[in-house]
Structures are given as structure tokens and as C-alpha cells.
Structure 1
């Protein structure tokens, strides 16, 4: 089949549903989108069994094992760290990586390190409003906070619905740091889609990650942290067009 396999990786507290709005649009553009479900999110998670980045990466790779064709790995928010690690592992099959207001981190550095670089407090974004259980090992986003921090530019009813769908998150699966090499992940084409009105991953942090990640294409969206809801058509078009370009290169004789 022509077109790319577009692997869509959600961020913390979310699920595959966060991509529902663009799935059909990507399919219509000739691609094969697939939204994965990461472990460590949900009402039944076990706080006594920590979920690691390696486990998250293994889960995604197992989910997409049956797909043929060039892969475009798309990570939203914290899903960007998982996208990075998947690309590192599957380097030979990955045509490109797309970060949607995502954590595009240097090897061995955390998002807290990026925030420190630009003098943002450790309580940036949603952090100060999280509710914790299991001795701090599981975090939950209050519904009203999700609407105002993640989805403030979306239709109010859609924002409220999305916020209600957020689930408890194991902290070990959220506070993750990538490890990658310049010859594998580092050599793969990348696109960073920045969200100009992001209250979760502030623009200064997004710009810092772009600054220290060489050779990355950048596209700006006038959206909140979740352009899947607030800039649906634009997001789908950008991902589809980038995948078209990557695919034409990957399939060239």
C-alpha cells in the first residue's frame, strides 16, 4: 500500500481517543493512521508495578508489529518521549517523527531540565493542580483544570467531554527521560508542531527544545495544548502533508 503508517501516541492522562478527530482525515489523505494505547493510564493501574519508558516503548512496538511500510511516529505532549524511544529502536523503519506540542528532549535530559533552562517553575502547566493518590505514585487531573489548561481553545462542550475522559496516570510512566543516539533517532527527519497558546507546555519551553534540537522543521499552530480539538483541520493537514513528503522520499527508487 502507498502512504505512511502514522503511529499516534497520546500523552499523560489521555488515550487513543485524543486522536479521533483526525483519524479519518489522515485516512482520506491516503495514510494509515493507528492510535496506540499506552500502559500506565486508566482506572485499573497497579501503583505497585512501575511502568518504565522501556515498557512503554515495548508496548508501542508490539502494537504496530503487523504494519508494513514507512512509519511516521507522532507524539503529543509527553507522548513525544515515547515517540523518540520508538524511533530510536525502529530507526530503519521510521521515515520521520512529529511532535505535537510535545516533549522533544535531548538524550538524558528531562522536561524539568528544559523548564529550568528557561526559568520556568517546577509547578509549570498542570503540575500544581494535580491530585495524587497511592503515596504520590498516581496522579489525576481535575475536570475543571483539564478544561482550562489543556483544552481552553476548544468548543466548551468538547473541552468538558475531553477533560472528563482523562484518566489516572502512573507517575513512573509520566516522568520519563529518553536515551538516544545520533546515528539512529538523531538522524531521522523531525517536525515540531508548536502550539502558540499552550498552557501546559509553555511556548518558551517548546522553543527551547527546538533550539537545542538541530535540523528540526517547525510549524506554528494558533492553538492550545490540544490542537486535535482546537485546530483539527490544520493539524491533520500538517501531519498528512509532512507524511506525504516523507513517504515520497522513503518510496523513491
Structure 2
């Protein structure tokens, strides 16, 4: 099975490096992606928005004869769900890594612009549970691997139009929340809760990690992805 790996904001294909062996050992063909405009200055990336990131994924889907699995971390979940909306009959499953499904018109988040792009923010920007399992060397490694994001991408609304997306199975590999806890949290965002409720098949699996398990527990994350792909849970 071809598994397209979509990074979150500021990260590129290399962020999945430590996860790849578990997928390859299980006989899958992982394809880590880098999104358009990453690391480019504003004059070269100002016109790049969330739909361009979605188009980059759908282009990869269209290159393959068989349906694919989409794995997405954090803000990459918006990209993955946009690609499912565009190609609902070409995606066998979506695996979300510590993120949730966006609603129609939803955006990733808002971060400060610097010279027209969005650089990786300070660690203090993130909640303590998100970073608790990252020691200082790992944080330094992550920062060294980050690059700026085109200014529009985090705040662009994501259009969703094809209700067939709700037939595509979804596995959420949550950092800490189980199914009940996740749905309770989403009560604060009713449109996001409704989007999740509309999906026919959803499995929520707590990893026992922070927000970046591809760095803090890559083998465990890889095994969880394989279980989702092979076992459908």
C-alpha cells in the first residue's frame, strides 16, 4: 500500500525519517512529502495557499493506479482532509497524528508573520502537555529541521464540498485523548464535532505522547500507523 505522509506546519519530508522503517518492514511503500513554498521568502511564496498544498497531495494520489492511505501530522490534517474531499474514491484511509478533522471553511491556526512568512514559533507557544516528552536535544533537532511556511497557509479557509469524504475511514492517533475525551473537547468547536460525527468509521487511539510522536516515539508511531492500515483500527 502506498502511504503518503503529510507533515505539519514548518516540517518537511525528513520529519518522517524515523517512522519509515516500521512502515517499510510491514511491506508498505511510504512516500513522505514536502509542501510547496516551505522555506521560501515571501516574494516567492505569497501566492501559495492551503489549496496549493491540497493540490500537491492530490497530484501524488493521481500518479498512482490504486487507492492510497494518507497520514498527516498536526496542520497537515487539513491538507489530508482537503485531498480526501477532492478524491474521495482514491483514499483508502486517513490516519491523523494528534489532530482532528477540519470543518468546511476551517483553518489551521494563526501564528505571527515575520517578513511575510510564518517561522516556527518559540516552544512556549505550545501547551506543556504537547512538549512534555521532548528533551532539550530533541527540541533542538526539531527546530533545526523547521522552515518558514507561506504566510497564507495557516489561516486560509479550507473549502469542503463532497460529502463522500465522510465514507473514508479515519484513524486518529491522539497524543493523549481517548475517543470520549476527544469528543468532549470538540464540544467547544461544534462544527468540528459535527464533521467528526459525520464520518462513518472513526477510531481514536491514544499514543501516550505529546504533539510530535514522530520524534519522541517514532517506532511506536510507525507501528500504530501499520495497525491502522492493516487492521483498520
Which bin holds the TM-score, normalised by the shorter protein?
Answer: 0.7 to 0.9
Q: In structure 2, do the counterparts of structure 1 residues 142 and 58 end up closer, same or farther at CA, with 3 Å as the change threshold?
A: closer
Q: TM-score, normalised by structure 1?
A: 0.75
User: What does 1:76-155 correspond to in 2, within 5 Å?
Assistant: 76-111=73-108, 127=111, 130=112, 132-134=113-115, 137-142=116-121, 145=124, 151-155=131-135
What per-residue deviation string (whole Å, max 9, x for no partner) do you get for residues 121-174 of structure 1?
A: x8xxxx4xx5x323xx31212565589866541343222111121111112112
Show the 5 A alignment for 1:49-68: 49-68=46-65
1:40 pairs with 2:20 = no
CA distance in structure 2 between the aligned counterparts of 1:68 and 1:206, rounded to whole angstroms: 39
1:72 aligned counterpart, secondary structure: strand
Maintained 8 Å contact 1:143/1:164 = no
> How many residues matched?
220
Q: Paired residue for 1:184?
A: 164
Q: CA deviation at 1:57?
A: 1.6
* RMSD of aligned alpha carbons: 2.8
Q: Does 1:20 align with 2:17?
A: yes
In 2, distance between residues paired with 1:166 and 1:37? 12
Structure 1 residues 110 and 147: CA distance shift in structure 2, 3 A: closer
The structure-2 alpha-carbon separation of the partners of 1:181 and 1:161, relative to structure 1 and needing over 3 Å to count, comes to same
1:234 corresponding residue in structure 2: 220
1:73 corresponds to which of 70, 74, 80? 70
Partner of 2:8: 11
1:237 Cα offset (Å): 1.2
Partner-residue secondary structure (3-state), 1:173: coil
Match of 1:164 in 2: 144
If the length of structure 2 is used for normalisation, what is the TM-score? 0.81
> Structure 1 unaligned runs (5+)?
113-121, 198-202, 247-253
Whole-Å Cα distance in 2 between the matches of residues 105 and 175 of structure 1?
Answer: 12
1:220 and 2:206 matched: yes
Q: 1:204-234: per-residue Cα shift (whole Å, max 9, x none)? A: 7994177431242101111111111112222
